[in-house]
Amino acid sequence: MTSSQQEILNLTMATANTRNIKQISHVRDIVLNGRISPEVQSRLVKDILKFLLYHRDQIPLPYDQLKYYFEKQENIKKGSEASKLSQLLDAVQDFCDNLDVIFSQSVSVESLWILIGPTVATPKEVFQIHFSNHSSSEPLSTIPSTKLCSRLLHKSLVTYNALIDTNPPPITSLHILFQGQRSSNIQWFKPKHSFKVPKRGQSFTFHILSYKELSMVEEASNMAKEKDPQLHQREDFNRIGNNTSDYNREDDLIWYAAPKAIKGVRDTVLCIPKQGETWVQ
């Protein structure tokens, strides 16, 4: 057994033994053909955030369309509702810009969480994004294009029945946190030492893997099930590391949080084009 397989096996067994989890958990593997570069990782996180904003009814239009119409309609940029929409767009842009900085600095992001709810302690929904770095030794020629990865991600999201069948929460806030090393030179995101993994609300986990990593995960899962025949019957079993804060891969991992929440908005100010009209990005 290789060291990577042993690490995945250890994480698998630790997850299976996690008790007293009251969440309803769902897991989705998003499998990409090749090595997942930092640029691709950053793009996928941003795509997931924008998808969730619209799919979970926190904005009235898909994000890119919302931004386009808001910037185009200069006459609406007054009033409290327009101000809220402007703040949302600014908050998302700030996050995206600083996320690019994090990945460009080669900061090891173990997992990134998007919590939808009033506070980080009382989320209605929890979305975990896990990246695995076991394929980092693969040659650069195996890195798929960012656009291709984005299309594969979107296809996986729109066909995710567990998410489709779950009613979205009312207008609320999105809180974003990630796990990184304590020694990382991170500026915009703030350390969140008091954060505890929430044990309430719906939980959705996205494992972003390459085909090579998926085969390693499946082999580790089979090994774990051989050691514990009841493993596959547990609802709290995720294959690589749900609730990673309970057994951090390294002792110096801490949580970092975006400095402000992204607050959802209703559409009360935009003039939406009539059916049949198109928008140009």
pLDDT at 107: 76
The CA distance from 254 to 232, in Å, is 30
Q: How far is CA 269 from CA 66, 75, 226, 255, in A?
A: 11, 10, 58, 37
Is 240 within 8 Å of 12 (Cβ atoms)? yes
Return left, alpha or beta for 167; rule: phi > 0 is left, psi -120 to 50 is alpha, else beta.
beta
pLDDT at 42: 93
Q: What are phi and psi of 249, to 5 degrees?
A: -65, -35
Burial 185-218, CB ≥16 within 10 A → b, else e: ebeebeebeebebbeebbbbbbbbbbebbbebbe
Domain positions in the chain are 3-16+26-263
Q: Which helix or strand (DSSP H or E) is residue 263 part of? A: strand 262-263
Q: Give the CA radius of gyration of the chain.
A: 19
Is 45 within 8 Å of 129 (Cβ atoms)? yes
Sign of CA dihedral 266, 272, 277, 280: negative
pLDDT along the chain (281 residues), means of 10: 54 44 77 83 95 95 90 69 88 96 82 95 94 57 78 92 93 94 87 88 89 54 55 43 45 89 82 56 52
Paired tokens of 112: 């990134």
pTM given for the model = 0.76
**Topology of domain 3-16+26-263, per CATH?**
Cell Cycle, Spindle Assembly Checkpoint Protein; Chain A (3.30.900)
Q: Cβ neighbours of residue 244 under 8 Å, at least 6 residues apart?
A: 11, 110, 111, 130, 179
* Helices marked H in the chain: 3-16, 38-55, 63-72, 80-104, 146-158, 161-164, 211-227
pLDDT at 246: 44
Paired tokens of 142: 């195996």
